[in-house]
Amino acid sequence: MTPLRNDSERSRRVAILAAVCLAALALPLAFSGGAVATPAIGRAFATGTAGSPAALNWITNAFMLAFGSLLMAAGTLADRYGRRRVFALGIGGFTLASIALACAPSLLALDLLRAAQGIAAAAALAGGTAALAQEFDGHARTRAFSLLGTTFGLGLAFGPVIAGLLIDRLGWRAVFATGAVAGALALAFGVPRMRESRDPHARGLDWAGTLTFTAALSCFTYGVIEAPGRGWSNALVTGLLGASAVLGCAFVAIETRIARPMLDLSLFRYPRFVGVQLLPVATCFCYIVLLVVLPLRLIGVEGYREIDAGWLMLALSAPMLVVPLAAALLTRWLAPGVVSGIGLAIAAVGLYALGLALRGGAHGLAIERTIGPMLAIGAGAAMPWGLMDGLSVSVVPKERAGMATGIFSTTRVAGEGIALACVSAVLAALTQTRLGAVNHAHADAGALAQAAARLATGDLAQASAWLPGLPAAALRDAYADAFSVLLTGLAALTLICALAVLAFLGRTREHNAQPSATPKRAATIVRERGKA
């Protein structure tokens, strides 16, 4: 190949990487920016049931649920119909949905559009990451995915700040318009330079698996969101959770019986594959959930302005700008699993320290004590962040990159949705317990549950309306105690994940995918690496 052709090919790959990174910038902006905008949206639609805790929770969960539940299907479609085509359709749909969100006339319309935005995001991420896996090999692929992780971290880092500035100057609708700008740039400058690639052995979409998986996640998320307000013994809640369990079993049965499943469950027999899936689960609980619950507390309960909360959140997310690249350099001397496990252990210590710092409330000297723990959490979570995507494509042959990224990204994004729903429900339950202990007016359980649910979504005013006998300071103290207990639990969970990652991935040095063209060869690769 001539030097001129080499330069042209290099420029083309850079343009593709830039397009996928622009998409990776828009997705976290939609996530973290939406979380900061939730209190303002709640104030804008504060009539009737529009501003209920469940309705406000769907601002984030509708996006995450659609995003996570359809990633595997999007990966399959990318393999069959082309990574470039699926990426283009996804980023185009994301841009249109973002524009529509900026004009949403009601909270119901906004929630539905957030679901549509999540569907488009699934196509964009699955198609884009699979395209990168086809364009880059070896260490170049590792660097490309590390840059992708850093870009994703950039969106997470500055999402709260950008959202705060936009809300302060232009209102919450401008938050969604920003995502449309990033999507339009990726569509205009990156897609024309992509070349089409697909899996020649790909088959049709696993409709039965897709429908049962999506329905199972939807029922579970809906049930957990409704539980704080209705009670865990409510017929609707128990019915939804029971349906989720039945649908989950049906999904497993379907995937074990078809010739080419959407999710190859046999991969979970291998410790290395399980270890890779633990990484996004751990970062969900130690990092992602804080991007939602902390702004809700700071803005809704503690009374911070959106812009001030955004600047404070920078302590948590700023390490994502540099640490993933530093972690990639560390893999020259340490196994990626060791680097990841150490990072999760650091995040666990930071979570515990943050729980102690916030125990007395978020005002005054306590807020100064939160900076160090938040930096530790962000740095610890960032260490596996840039390594996870590269590890995820190492367990299948290059031709099945769509499946690999689909499985991993589904674990990451579906895990985020599940983690958010569970953490919000646990926080509401802990708050209700604390409110019951300090409530001397003996309010009924329904009022306590409603007040706790309102506090968990950052609505102090409505919580006070449900418990008029309690001063706002008592509500804040009960919420602060519950928040600290929650952080201690998250610290313990993160530490367990760190130890498991070290056990499963600690001895793995090589994490570049080996090419192969047959499922039989893929199974051989996985079997060999599982014994490593």
Instruction: Work out the average pLDDT over 180-185.
Output: 83
- At 459, which CATH number? 1.20.1250.20
Which tokens is 387 given?
């390594």
Q: Which amino acid is at 94?
A: F
pLDDT at 79: 77
Q: Give dist(CA 497, CA 336) in Å, integer.
A: 15
Q: Check whether residue 185 and residue 242 sit in a common domain.
A: no
Phi/psi of residue 49, nearest 5 degrees: -85, 0
pLDDT at 530: 37
Q: Give dist(CA 183, CA 163) in Å, integer.
A: 17
Count structural domains, the chain.
Answer: 2
Residue closest to 286 by CA, chosen among 497, 58, 506:
497
399 pLDDT higher than 60:
no
pLDDT at 204: 67
pLDDT at 159: 78
Banded pLDDT at 51 (limits 50, 70, 90): low
Q: Check whether residue 338 and residue 426 sit in a common domain.
A: yes
* Burial degree of 48 (CB within 10 A; 0-12, 13-18, 19+): exposed
Q: Check whether residue 351 and residue 489 sit in a common domain.
A: yes
398 pLDDT higher than 70:
no
The DSSP line for 204-248 is ---HHHHHHHHHHHHHHHHHHHHHHHH-TT-HHHHHHHHHHHHHH
Q: Check whether residue 392 and residue 452 sit in a common domain.
A: yes
pLDDT at 288: 87
Q: Are 207 and 36 in contact (CB under 8 A)?
A: no
In order of 227, 436, 462, 469, 472, the CA distances from 442 in angstroms are 22, 8, 18, 9, 17
User: Last residue of a domain, which of 216, 244, 259?
Assistant: 259
217 pLDDT higher than 60:
yes
Q: How many residues does the chain have?
A: 532
User: Last residue of a domain, which of 228, 259, 290?
Assistant: 259
Q: Check whether residue 104 and residue 139 sit in a common domain.
A: yes
pLDDT at 524: 38
Q: Give dist(CA 400, CA 482) in Å, integer.
A: 45
Out of 75-79, 143-147, 201-205, 353-357, least confident range: 201-205
pLDDT at 241: 92
Residue 257 half-sphere exposure toward CB, CA atoms < 13 A: 8
Out of 202-206, 423-427, 464-468, least confident range: 202-206
List the domain range (segments joined by +) for residue 7: 3-206+260-530
In order of 151, 211, 261, 271, 512, the CA distances from 253 in angstroms are 38, 13, 11, 22, 32
Q: Check whether residue 82 and residue 230 sit in a common domain.
A: no
User: Last residue of a domain, which of 198, 231, 259?
Assistant: 259
Element of type H or E holding 435: helix 401-438
Q: Check whether residue 227 and residue 118 sit in a common domain.
A: no
Q: Report residue 206 CA to chain centroid gap.
A: 24
258 pLDDT higher than 80:
no
The DSSP line for 397-429 is -GGGHHHHHHHHHHHHHHHHHHHHHHHHHHHHH
22 pLDDT higher than 70:
yes
The DSSP line for 348-407 is HHHHHHHHHHTTT-SSTHHHHHTHHHHHHHHHHHHHHHHHHHHHHTTSS-GGGHHHHHHH
Instruction: Work out the average pLDDT over 98-123.
Output: 89
Q: Check whether residue 235 and residue 127 sit in a common domain.
A: no
Instruction: Work out the average pLDDT over 395-417.
Output: 64
Q: Give dist(CA 122, CA 127) in Å, integer.
A: 8
| pTM of the predicted structure, to 2 decimals | 0.76
Q: Give dist(CA 41, CA 26) in Å, integer.
A: 20
Q: Are 42 and 51 in contact (CB under 8 A)?
A: yes
Q: Are 487 and 439 in contact (CB under 8 A)?
A: no
Instruction: Work out the average pLDDT over 127-142.
Output: 75
Q: Give dist(CA 31, CA 43) in Å, integer.
A: 19
Percent above pLDDT 90 for the chain:
15
pLDDT at 515: 37
Instruction: Work out the average pLDDT over 281-307.
Output: 86
Instruction: Work out the average pLDDT over 242-257.
Output: 89
Instruction: Work out the average pLDDT over 64-92.
Output: 82
Q: Which amino acid is at 342?
A: I
Q: Check whether residue 338 and residue 432 sit in a common domain.
A: yes
297 pLDDT higher than 90:
no
Q: Give dist(CA 93, CA 186) in Å, integer.
A: 12
Average predicted confidence (pLDDT) for the chain: 79
Banded pLDDT at 498 (limits 50, 70, 90): very high
3 pLDDT higher than 90:
no
514 pLDDT higher than 50:
no
* Burial degree of 360 (CB within 10 A; 0-12, 13-18, 19+): middle
| pLDDT: which is higher, 261 or 308 | 308
| pLDDT: which is higher, 198 or 503 | 503
Most confident of 63-72, 109-118, 218-227: 109-118
Most confident of 19-28, 71-80, 321-330, 488-497: 488-497
Q: Check whether residue 417 and residue 470 sit in a common domain.
A: yes
Q: Check whether residue 319 and residue 289 sit in a common domain.
A: yes
99 pLDDT higher than 50:
yes
pLDDT at 256: 82
169 pLDDT higher than 90:
no
Q: Check whether residue 332 and residue 429 sit in a common domain.
A: yes
Element of type H or E holding 304: none
Helix, strand or coil, per DSSP, at residue 482: helix
